[in-house]
Amino acid sequence: MEQFESFYITTPIYYVNDKPHIGHAYTSLICDVAARFMKLAGKNVKFTTGTDEHGQKIEKAAKTKGIEPKEFTDEISVTFRKLAELMNFDYDDFIRTTEERHEKAVIALWNRLEERGQIYLDSYSGWYSVRDEAFYQESELIYGRAPTGAEVQWIKEESYFFRLSSWQNKLLELYENQPNFIFPESRKNEVVSFVKSGLTDLSISRTSFNWGIKVPENDKHVIYVWIDALTNYLTSIGFPNIEDEEYKKFWTNSFNIHVIGKDILRFHAVYWPAILLAADLPLPKQIAVHGWWLNEGEKISKSLGNVIDPINLAEEFGVDQLRYFLLREASFGQDGNFSKKNMISRINSELANNIGNLVQRTISFLHKQCFGVVPVVDRNLLKDDESLQNCKAIIDQVMDHLSNQLFQSQQK
């Protein structure tokens, strides 16, 4: 990524059917650390996050509370901003899909696809999960449920379709020619296997609910929530104005990377690049996929009552302590296992004892030997020059590790 002056990193926009959990905090933290790292490396950086506020789940949740969908999304979106502020995430833009600028971007993308013959009207029948906002083939169901465990229902309705099947070979070429487009490799293999099994055209509109962006010239159809949500990556950089300096800097001429959880891999690594190819728009450089968080070895779910609230953790243990633990406990791409016992151990033995003692001893030495002032470095002195070289080697090593661990270089 050395040849790029600009670096654009995004979280997925978070679905506002419930308050933030530890997975949201982890994704944003990875992006925040990467953005800070690239700023230190002298890059122009843009870091975006936000909330996904349309769809059937939102409409149902708002109805259950007896309020309008917009009022419901306003309430929940605030909690995601609160998390970002509390965790000290230094983002540059917070996108809401209910914003006017986003609706303009979504409609513009739809029109680009339609103008290029990539959308057609037909009818759809199949298994649909409201929770996942996803369609599933019969062969994908496990004991009558989605692979995620979500309930599915058989639906039949008129729908617009995207010609996803036309882009199967182009996608396979992409994965082969850009081996680091999906990172880590295990996730790439998963996607390649899925695409090779055969792609069918994608239903991209619904008529069974109203809360969403309407299809141009046919307002009985609502644009599929994933077309809507994925477009946020373009919204933030000035699309549909592809001559906008922000768009050129951070989409056309940058190292742009989407950081996501493994549960939304297919949408980002299959549907999104196919849509961009069909719309004749540049692709992101990488989809970086992290694992899930477990709670004491168990999968986290509302039904088990073991959802981890990062806001409560930050208030109990401290923001920096939580940031350190999340990064330290889970290797990127692997599942992380949360326990308060492990968190307390990491904080005490590593953050306070090892790192804290190192800082304390260094500062104490500085006060004792140098009156609390960092001495001027003299490169003519052999010892000073050796110390500088050692420091530079350590910095280079840290930067290399960060670069390779978070987002493998496209030059490999």
pLDDT of res. 378? 73
By three-state DSSP, how is residue 336 classified? strand
Q: Are 118 and 170 in contact (CB under 8 A)?
A: no
Domain ranges of the chain: 6-290
Q: The whole model's pTM is what?
A: 0.90
- pLDDT, averaged across the chain: 91
The 10s digit of each residue's pLDDT in 294-319 is 998 888 876 678 889 999 999 999 99
Q: What is the mean pLDDT of residues 228-247?
A: 96
Residue linked to tokens 């296997």:
193
Highest mean pLDDT among 318-327, 378-387, 390-399 belongs to 318-327
Q: Is 159 exposed, middle or buried (0-12, 13-18, 19+ CB in 10 A)?
A: buried
pLDDT of res. 410? 37
Choice among 191-200, 368-377, 380-389 with the minimum mean pLDDT: 380-389
Q: At what angle do helices 69-86 and 310-317 cross, to 10 degrees?
A: 30
The 10s digit of each residue's pLDDT in 75-124 is 999 999 999 999 999 999 999 999 999 999 999 999 999 999 999 999 98
pLDDT at 159 over 60: yes
Q: pLDDT band at residue 406, thresholds of 50, 70 and 90?
A: low
Instruction: Name the E strands within 163-217.
Output: 182-183, 202-203, 205-206, 214-215
State the CB neighbour count (10 A cutoff) for residue 15.
Answer: 22
Q: What is the mean pLDDT of residues 170-189?
A: 96
pLDDT at 200 over 70: yes
Q: Which of 102, 126, 124, 106 is nearest to 114 (CA)?
A: 106
Q: pLDDT band at residue 192, thresholds of 50, 70 and 90?
A: very high
Distance spanning both ends of the chain, measured CA to CA:
10
Q: Which CATH number fits domain 6-290: 3.10.580.10, 3.30.930.10, 3.40.50.620, 1.20.1260.10?
A: 3.40.50.620
